[in-house]
Amino acid sequence: MTDLETRVAPPGNALRRAAPALLGYAAVRALGLLALALWSAARDKSAYTLLTARWDSLWYTRVAELGYGYEVRLPNGDVHSNLAFFPLLPWLERGVAAVTPLSYADAGFAVSLLASLAAAWGIFAVADQVYGRRAGVCAVLVWALLPVGIVQSMAYSESLFTALAAWSLYAVLTGRWLAAGTLAALAGLTRPVGLAVVAAVWVTGIASFVRNRSTAGAQGAQDPEHAPFATADGAGGGAPAWRRALGMLLAPVGAAGYVLWVGHRTGKGPLGYLDVQAGWRNGFDGGYAFARFVADKFTSFPSALAGVGLIVGVGLVVWLYVVCVRQGQPLPLLVYAGVVTALALCASSYFGSKPRLLLPAFPLLLPLALALARLRTSRSALLAAGVALASAVYGAFWLNGSGPP
């Protein structure tokens, strides 16, 4: 891979270039919502309630309406505090509700829909930058076709986070360090996994500084004008050093600011947020709890089949990451996807949510997008249509289940 900057589309053409990806994404999501509406109606449930007023959606709207400080104490002693939920989505819900007739739940749904389109556009921009337009369109379609893709239309924070993460990574790839740092800071205000975006900005920035120093040493300090503008990993190495440094400083501000505020509010110092998460039985144990959960599936039948499915799923995720490395994905994408995957698989959180937690790890899908892009258009369209139908049915079944996604 050489100068990635050469594929940056002029601003006036950017939306036109992304239009096929966005139209395809909208069609897949519309099919998913239609399947959910039909399935829910057959079960005498409200599809809109499932999307906007259950599980985490209720916690976000409660923060938007009443602020922080609400908690639920369970009989087993666990304390579920709304401090576990990062503030950007509730802030946006409150802002939209303040200037429109929408309720907080309606505002959350609207924000999610718009954010999902922004996420699709960001994924297209990243894939187009690295592999070209056809791969960009396919990357968006693959992300939309995920079995858990219905979450992209829920009043959850996954779509908002993915949008901020994708555009931050795109900014890194194109050397826009101030934008990258600002978007990373906003991602850090959205979900705890914002750490992955910060890591991508920092690791790529450090690698860029090191590479530029090595290049300067090889070329001589008297000839700085011939330093390459973009590095082989898309780090935008020719950007002024102060911009890279400032972007790196901005990146962790959102996550660090919220975590420190929670620590101050709880009176437990910088680690107070970890105590809040512990009340939800969330933590990072290197995957021990998840491994025990999988192992327990093999104590009976047919739950052993679920255990096999979980092992295959984890194996597929790991295999996709290995393929990403072998295909030479740019450094920021590898760092970001690696951290998202590690946090999702190695956390002791609710195990049924792990597929949803992996949703923002879109770089893992680029090998599948490249494979789809190599097919003839008629074949890729037929395959996408079949998978879209299966995904829509699964999403409707999943969201009508008893547990949260």
130 vs 333: CA distance, rounded Å: 10
Identify the pLDDT of residue 10: 60
Q: Quick one: CA dihedral 287, 281, 257, 183, positive or negative?
A: positive
Identify the pLDDT of residue 216: 64
Do 104 and 155 touch, CB atoms closer than 8 A?
Answer: no
Grade residue 230 by pLDDT with cuts at 50, 70 and 90: very low
- Percentage of the chain beyond pLDDT 90 is 81
* pLDDT tens profile 350-398: 888 999 999 999 999 999 999 999 999 999 999 999 999 999 999 999 9
* pLDDT tens profile 50-73: 999 989 999 999 999 999 999 999
β-pair type (79-81, 71-73): antiparallel
Pairwise pLDDT comparison (195 vs 403), residue with the higher score: 195
Answer whether residue 219 shows pLDDT above 90: no
Query: Over the chain, what is the mean pLDDT?
Result: 91
Q: Quick one: CA dihedral 38, 145, 190, 113, positive or negative?
A: negative
* pLDDT tens profile 165-211: 999 999 999 999 999 999 999 999 999 999 999 999 999 999 998 98
Closest Cα partner for 197 from 240, 160, 241?
A: 160
